[in-house]
Structure 1
């Protein structure tokens, strides 16, 4: 069995192993990390040898920690990362390059249709009728998108939304409210087979699916990192938030979508969103306007250039071919808009 895991902000860890009688055998850890002393690698292999195959990541981490020589130094490697790679090997997880990735980047769409397209496309990936897909959104109207479990009245000021012509929609994933305007926001979705994130905890899957965009931002001169549970941050502020939804039909799939602030009208945002004091204090900030630092200021690049470079970075890593929303997918999404995403019952399901 073979498992790989790129430690967030670090290096690739590769594990090859067998199982016999319900325990790990012939474990070999490798990768492009740095490790001192040399015999620490053998200690890691030995610590994993004979471990019960159903040991969780925390248990495997504890075994490795207990076996490491005194003074061991790891760069680009963590014991938790080794444990995750083992669990991915045992789960027979797939890797990014195992798939033929498709790109969808089409004309602007209404907010409710974007919500529906996420659901339809991810369901198609789950059943194998569509390859794993990167979809870059274009917005036809400004919107507030609230999380699946958020209270509508607690998150949105209806008078502010009406005053600024803001459409309010509810998405299928959890997380917080997002304020978007055409031209000021970069939003994308990854619809991936569940096999890609096998062996990862829910939290680890966020970092794993965000890693490529951190590299793309780095290529544009932005030192960005994953900030648990679902933010992408820099040393001058948050630039993006992610959310996920698991689909259980077929072979299973994960929807991972991210909204990035390219530019932002902070006055309008705070006029529309009811951002509570507790959330601000949790982020260590005094003002909602200071919580997000837009990509426009950090890169100095046009929005279209940032998007192009992100797409190029993804394609250079994993391959990417141009695709489109099929007529059948669009028809199903439009039906979902009528029956679900534009319905007051859905928007106010948590009043």
Structure 2
């Protein structure tokens, strides 16, 4: 890299430090990593330099984007959102809205953790409602049924029993991978986090996170405008297997013909393998993601919430969407 020029909407004191930042980049390889570039910048700046509105890391990301080599996790300024509990249909609408905001460039790539406020079954986009769900049992147990925009199988969750997260990532992050390979790649950080708390987690193609003691969770994806991939995962923390078998028809076939004990073995909750509180597991997952990929705490905007509420009314809460025949 030579003849570096940096411009942008930021503040810098003293202003002369901009020359030092440019000088730090002179002679670096064009494929230098974010870490290498940021380290070079930090090495040139005095301790009293104030960078306001940008960081050495953000300069590094901008440089790599300008050179067309931005395809690693660290090339993006991630936001991590620990979102509040909202109705199930609202979560699905938020997934759609936030993915489209990232695709349009109005939101940074984002990791969002969900909080469920009630029991729910979430069926895949291409599933038959009547084939998958015992509707009489859901009414008896007060379980809400919704349909998501991604494919895959039905999931049963209750308040405080699941760990669910969504990634809204640039498609270029997985541009050189097959669709199948992208699943495991986007969840590598999760496997590391689970390994660190004592779970021998590994990926089972196409979309299962599992361990030697049983399945932990499953993933699903949707691509938006070829710019963004929505990748979301639900993991069992403390599952009521007996209730799940009552409300999910497919659960009765897949899990067991011998009773609840066998079902509990098939989908082994995170709680039983770690003994950790659910919130502690989520906090560790957040820390692992930030340590590996960088980023900062973020939030859903009022405009995004409003757009999601509109989408709930127009799509995700309608019988037409729920009962569609694929």
Fold match, TM over 0.5? yes
**Corresponding residue to 1:307 among 255, 279, 282:** 282
Q: Secondary structure at the match of 2:84?
A: coil
TM alignment of 1:141-220, pairs within 5 A: 141-220=118-197
Are residue 120 (structure 1) and residue 97 (structure 2) matched?
A: yes
The counterpart of 1:262, out of the listed 213, 237, 261, is 237
Q: 2:87 — aligned with what?
A: 110
Inter-partner Cα distance in structure 1 for 2:70 and 2:76: 12
TM-score normalised by the chain length of structure 1: 0.70
Select the residue among 294, 301, 305 that pairs with 1:326: 301
Structure 2: 5+ residue stretches without partners: 1-67
Q: Secondary structure at the match of 1:139?
A: coil
What RMSD over aligned residues (CA atoms) do the two structures have, in Å?
1.8
User: Which structure has the highest helix share of the two?
Assistant: 2
Does the CA-based 8 Å contact 2:213-2:265 persist in structure 1? no
Matching residue within 317, 320, 324 for 1:342 = 317
User: Which secondary structure does the structure 2 equivalent of 1:308 belong to?
Assistant: helix
Deviation (angstroms), 1:106: 2.3
| Deviation readout 1:309-350 (Å, 9 max, x if unpaired) | 000110110112111111111111000000000000000112
Moved runs in structure 1, 4+ residues, more than 2 A? 276-281, 286-290
Aligned equivalents of 1:119, 1:336: Cα separation in 2:
9
Is the CA contact 2:77–2:294 (under 8 Å) kept in the aligned structure 1?
Answer: yes
Matched, 1:137 2:106: no
C-alpha distance 119-239 of structure 1, shift in aligned 2 (>3 A)? same
Q: Between Structure 1 and Structure 2, how many residues are aligned? A: 256
Q: Which has the higher strand share?
A: 1
Asked whether the equivalents of residues 93 and 199 of structure 1 are also in contact (C-alpha less than 8 Å), the reply is no
**Are 2:245 and 2:251, in contact at CA under 8 Å, matched by a contact in 1?**
no
CA distance in 2, matches of 1:179, 1:312: 27
